[in-house]
Amino acid sequence: MQANEILSHFGLTHAGDHPVHSPIDGAEIGRVGYDDARSVDAKIARSVEAFHAWRNVPAPRRGELVRLFGEELRANKDALGRLVTLEAGKILQEGLGEVQEMIDICDFAVGLSRQLYGLTIASERPGHRMMETWHPAGPVGIISAFNFPVAVWAWNAALAIVCGDCVIWKPSEKTPLTALATQSLFERALKRFADAPANLSQVVLGLRDVGEMLAKDNRLPVISATGSTRMGRELAPVVAQRFGRSILELGGNNAMIAAPSAKLDLAQRAITFAAVGTAGQRCTSLRRLFVHEAIYDKLVPALKSIYAALPLGNPLEKATLVGPLIDRAAFENMERALASARDEGGKITGGGRALEKEFPNAFYARPAIVEMADQTSTVCRETFAPILYVMRYAKFEEALARHNAVPQGLSSCIFTQDLQEAEKFLAASGSDCGIANVNIGPSGAEIGGAFGGEKETGGGRESGSDSWKAYMRRQTATINYSDALPLAQGIEFAV
């Protein structure tokens, strides 16, 4: 299916002043119109109205809508996966995987719709019952990044909708078409559901100013924002100023410790997938690799030969493992990071622009391995590109200390067969990240676990486990079924 066919499959027309280019070859694949302050305001108002109806629909019934949406995703997985590849440039396997992640979170949310449990708590007063109830929070603003153009919305939206909230989505300005396609699938599910309020899910398009409008608006009690740490640093105070709640999913600088007992064949595959998958443009991409000196001279040359043979190219082609970077700015950032790593003493293998002749208007980069003596300031920054900084270590404690000595705290892993090392890595004094794996790379999380990270990654949690609680408000309710009015703490207050 070509871009045009896919867009018409989703009922999308080329309308609007803003062209959308594919990172595969730079070609225009569609056009969209941007929202302005008035239309954003009107959409938020409609979202509030929809919320007033939706919050009263029983949660299991709300789950039925998400189940229908999951069916639409299943039926349209190929078309949406291809559009993800066309618009974001990730290889087709990953485009399809992203849609599968949407399907998985829908399944999770359907089950969750019957499990929005609160506690009952022993009251200290006779003839009293105390309980916790979870109520819908309100319309949720979702701001998403280009690199997971649809899955991250689904993590938020599937939960928010079963929790009784409405959603209003500002996708990345680099990937508006996948957002509109997803919205059209959601609307198909709505038609089959029949009795949902209009405007349960809406899309607002535009640059960061549209995101800022959502952040400022006190009709949106929850803002879930995924993107760079710079974005989170700007957005969080705006939401906090009005006492809104933000769920922040920001940049990572993820690492692996390859210990002496690591199974090297597994480690090599995990490293390569995590470092060059999505052309190094995952929040969980592997960026730092600490290799024990006993295996350094085996592992690092093996990685270099894997890198030399990596099939780079059009991400729609089956054999391709590394597609393009999102745009010129991403390539220039990679070049800048490599130049400053070199200035700091780094030894670079790979890097540089590839396939320039075939794709003069696109930016393919050769993944780079950079051997560093120290964890310099360049290594401590997240560069959203396929650069893997490799450092040698002698003692586990030293590797762990350097592992944690960066501002970000998203994902981490260790490859080891040594139980003590593995447990130390997972202990309170071990990895300081939101995600910590043993003998698994740092990327490619399942939706069942809570996803997110600490420090400059923002502290938010989305997806599985009890992440749903962020989309609801908690109410403690106490009922007095006695004939007296005893006060808590035994206070006497006779009138």
Smallest distance from the beta carbon of 124 to ligand NAD, in angstroms?
Answer: 42
Question: Is the CB of 67 or the CB of 245 nearer to ligand NAD?
Answer: 245
Smallest distance from the beta carbon of 215 to ligand NAD, in angstroms?
Answer: 5
- The one catalytic residue in 283, 382, 413, 462 is 283
Q: Is 249 a catalytic residue?
A: yes
Question: Is the CB of 62 or the CB of 174 nearer to ligand NAD?
Answer: 174
Cβ proximity of 129 and 120 under 8 Å: yes
Q: Which residue of this chain has its Cβ atom nearest to ligand NAD in the complex?
A: 211
- For ligand NAD, the binding residues (CB under 6 A) are 143-148, 152, 170, 172-173, 207-208, 211-212, 215, 226-228, 231, 234-235, 249-252, 283, 382, 384, 410, 457
- The one catalytic residue in 64, 98, 249, 462 is 249
Question: Is the CB of 62 or the CB of 287 nearer to ligand NAD?
Answer: 287
Question: Is the CB of 25 or the CB of 212 nearer to ligand NAD?
Answer: 212
Smallest distance from the beta carbon of 206 to ligand NAD, in angstroms?
Answer: 8
Q: Is 492 a catalytic residue?
A: no
Smallest distance from the beta carbon of 65 to ligand NAD, in angstroms?
Answer: 25
Question: Is the CB of 350 or the CB of 434 nearer to ligand NAD?
Answer: 434
Question: Is the CB of 199 or the CB of 457 nearer to ligand NAD?
Answer: 457
Question: Is the CB of 142 or the CB of 422 nearer to ligand NAD?
Answer: 142
Smallest distance from the beta carbon of 213 to ligand NAD, in angstroms?
Answer: 8
Smallest distance from the beta carbon of 367 to ligand NAD, in angstroms?
Answer: 17
Smallest distance from the beta carbon of 178 to ligand NAD, in angstroms?
Answer: 13
Catalytic residues: 249, 283
